[in-house]
Structure 1
Amino acid sequence: MTDLSMPDEDLLFDLAELFKIFGDSTRIKILFALLGRELAVSDLADSLGMTQSAISHQLRVLKTNGLVRYRREGKSLIYALSDEHVSKILNMGLEHIEE
């Protein structure tokens, strides 16, 4: 077995904060909706049966924490997962709970 040293306290705190973001089912739904595709706020709201205001609030949290990114297309903001790590975390979590 490999001897792993404990990460420093700041890194552990940041990791705990990241996992808190995944602790909200609405944010998880948004992240899953964005797996492999880009969507506008209105499309996310329609597909999840939520208001655009509620979606925008959660997207702000996800963006602040580096889990989603956006680009402007005309007047719309088009959101996507920020990188492959996010989809890996989602998929690994799903695999874990399905075992």
Structure 2
Amino acid sequence: MDYKTLDDDTMERVTQTFKALGDPTRMKILTYLFNDEHSVGDISETLGLKQSTVSHQLKTLKNLRLVKSRREGTTIYYSHDDAHVMTMLDQMISHVKHD
């Protein structure tokens, strides 16, 4: 693919995605969702965050198609929505931990 001339919309979406990944709270949520889906309550309890904070951050991640949701009764479960992003995240974590 030729990346020399990206259209403005693509450039904006890439930039917004990197901005989203630059937030520590959103990174905590994404890494928690790495292998399993979880409810807002579970994410909130495990990560020690307010449910309103988790919901707000999940909305941002969902708008960027980084997470997806499914409803089971009254509970909504979230999981990552893009293996490409999770692979990139895994590689970045490996890079940072590399001695």
TM-score where L is the length of structure 1 = 0.88
Task: Determine the structure 2 residue equivalent to 1:56.
Answer: 55
Task: Evaluate the alpha carbon distance shift between residue 5 and residue 49 of structure 1 in structure 2; reply closer, same or farther with a 3 A threshold.
Answer: closer
Q: Decide which moves more: 31-40 or 83-92.
A: 83-92
Secondary structure of the corresponding residue to residue 14 of structure 1: helix
Task: Determine the structure 1 residue equivalent to 2:74.
Answer: 75
Task: Determine the structure 1 residue equivalent to 2:6.
Answer: 8
* Structure-2 separation of matches of 1:44 and 1:90: 19
Do 2:65 and 2:82's aligned partners in 1 also have CA atoms closer than 8 Å? no
State the AA in 2 paired with 1:26: T
Task: Evaluate the alpha carbon distance shift between residue 5 and residue 34 of structure 1 in structure 2; reply closer, same or farther with a 3 A threshold.
Answer: closer
Task: Determine the structure 1 residue equivalent to 2:33.
Answer: 34
Q: Deviations over 1:26-65 (max 9, x none)?
A: 0000000001101000000000001111100000000000
Task: Determine the structure 2 residue equivalent to 1:43.
Answer: 42
TM-score where L is the length of structure 2 = 0.88
Secondary structure of the corresponding residue to residue 7 of structure 1: coil
Q: Which segments of structure 1 move beyond 6 Å, counting only runs of 4 or more?
A: none
Unaligned runs of 5+ in 1: none
State the AA in 2 paired with 1:72: R
Aligned length: 96
Unaligned runs of 5+ in 2: none
Q: CA RMSD in A?
A: 1.4
